Structure 1
Amino acid sequence: MEINLTNKAVFVPHVKKGYEDREQHIKAMLQKMNIPFSWILDGDIADLTPEILDKYFAGDMHKAGATASCAYKHVLAYKEIIAKNLDGALILEDDIQLDPRLFIGIFNKSLTELNSEEQEPSIVSYEDTRLRFVPKSKRVGGKVLYPGNRDRMTGAYYINKKGAELIINELEKQAMDIPVDWYNAKLLHENKLKYYWCQPTIATQGSHLGIFKSAITVKDNFLSTLKWRFKRFYKKWLYELR
């Protein structure tokens, strides 16, 4: 099965130098799945000039650090969607682990369902990193998209053009003062952005699996990875009972 990327793209935020293990991981995984992609390399910490910080960031985000760099790379991906007049893009952080068996089929179906809805600014989250799932009692046979009431991080998500335009327009009015995943959640709670959860989840951030160290937090260790894996197993089981 081939991924449906008609007038769409796959963008992977990454750094110009360093994290070569993540680079090789993404290349190998996406090549094996026959998924074409483009890197988002601009927006490294060194690229965050005072002008960029003043334009896009405020508060604790108004400093050249890893969190602002990560957010800015996502902003650059949104700008690429608009500049290239794409319908939208799948955005994958460079430590993401996709389900090789399920991802393409579920992704294609999610876009079919999204396109059948009224076209509003929308994000579709594919990952389980925040351990948020759709309760079994709310699932409908054959359906994969469900309205989400909270964010599920930014490791693997699709954003349509209207969603990209919304975020860029909002940033023109008020700079981002929280991390990009929280910012998306803020727009959700303000009823400006539709946020869909994909069920089943088909992606996990590798830093939570223990494959990579996080580029932002320093709390990486074997015990935390083990705890997270256990919590994922438990919560998936719990949501099957709800």
Structure 2
Amino acid sequence: MNRFLNNVFIIHVSKGYEDRRAHIDQHLPERGITNFEYMLEGDISDLTPEVKEKYFQHNECLPALSCAYKHILVYEKMVAEGIERALVLEDDAYLTEDAFEKLSAVEAEMSSERNFILNIEHSNRSVPVRIKNPGQLCYLASHTKRTGGYVIQLEAAKRIVDFFEHYQTSMPIDAFQTKMRDILGYNIFWMDPPVVHQGSKNGMFDSELSQRKKNRLGALTSYFRDGYQRHILTNLSSKRMRSFQKVTRY
């Protein structure tokens, strides 16, 4: 098993989302990933005044705070246990059939990299064709996408953990990762083609954060809309091109 898959953390609410846990328990072994653990700490009930005072400010969206807190707790566990690299998945993750093989190739490509977050999930954004190179899977970017699936290296985790020793945030975790890239000095990469879809985005699960309900018709609409944005608008947008041009490497 490659190093990306030695430590796999699933962001999961401990009660009320049993369908998601059943999905992960079945789906990941089907994709060749059998060594994973759930981050069950950080539920809304764990957001005590002391926790909110340490990590958060000017944000009372409890689902977003709980989600961010769980990701932060993964980083703290990495630092405490010296975990060099971890794959972080939210509990609605669907992996492509070739995810195991693709992640093995990514591990080889990224073997000399340190201090990074590598986003591996699909969204309505992708790497423009003009940026891509034959055989290359990972591309330095100025921002992340969502946080449904990514690999984080220990140095980047340390920088985030150190930040919360002195400061707080009002941002959800995906916006935080992007905002703090140039402040804390870590690298963000996009994997393209990516290997993770979020079930709360493709209609397979309800989404507590966006209030989007499970809806196959909505998923079909989203598929075509996101495909258009991913394959057409991405390659026409000068803003998207700038996301991969002259990006500072830390």
With normalisation by structure 1, the TM-score equals 0.90
1:122 to 100, 116, 128: 116
What one-letter code is carried by the residue in structure 2 that aligns with 1:179? P
| Paired residue secondary structure (2:201) | helix
Name the stretch that deviates more: 142-151 or 85-94: 142-151
Q: Paired residue for 1:169?
A: 162
How far apart are 1:126 and its partner, in Å?
Answer: 0.6
Q: Say if 2:11 is the partner of 1:5.
A: no
How far apart are 1:162 and its partner, in Å?
Answer: 0.5
How far apart are 1:111 and its partner, in Å?
Answer: 2.3
2:28 to 30, 37, 49: 30
Kept in 1, the 8 Å contact 2:125–2:234? The answer is no
Name the stretch that deviates more: 158-167 or 105-114: 105-114
Q: 1:6 to 1:59 in 2, by over 3 A?
A: closer
Q: Say if 2:71 is the partner of 1:87.
A: no
Name the stretch that deviates more: 214-223 or 190-199: 214-223
**Distance in 2, Cα, partners of 1:49 & 1:137:** 48
Q: Paired residue for 1:53?
A: 52
Q: 1:7 to 1:218 in 2, by over 3 A?
A: closer
Unaligned runs of 5+ in 1: none
Question: 1:12-161 residue pairs with structure 2 within 5 A?
Answer: 12-35=10-33, 36-60=35-59, 63=60, 65-100=62-97, 102-117=98-113, 119=114, 121-129=115-123, 131-161=124-154
1:194-230 C-alpha deviation (Å, 9 max, x unpaired): 0000010111110111100002121336454333211
How far apart are 1:166 and its partner, in Å?
Answer: 0.7
How far apart are 1:192 and its partner, in Å?
Answer: 1.4
2:229 to 215, 225, 235: 235
**Distance in 2, Cα, partners of 1:139 & 1:191:** 27
Runs of 4+ in 1 over 6 A off after TM superposition: none
**Distance in 2, Cα, partners of 1:193 & 1:97:** 27
Q: 1:45 to 1:198 in 2, by over 3 A?
A: same
Unaligned runs of 5+ in 2: 237-250
| Paired residue secondary structure (2:86) | strand
How far apart are 1:30 and its partner, in Å?
Answer: 0.9
How far apart are 1:17 and its partner, in Å?
Answer: 1.1
| Paired residue secondary structure (1:237) | helix
2:199 to 202, 206, 213: 206
Q: How many residues align?
A: 234
Q: 1:146 to 1:6 in 2, by over 3 A?
A: closer
Kept in 2, the 8 Å contact 1:135–1:239? The answer is no
How far apart are 1:241 and its partner, in Å?
Answer: 5.7
With normalisation by structure 2, the TM-score equals 0.87
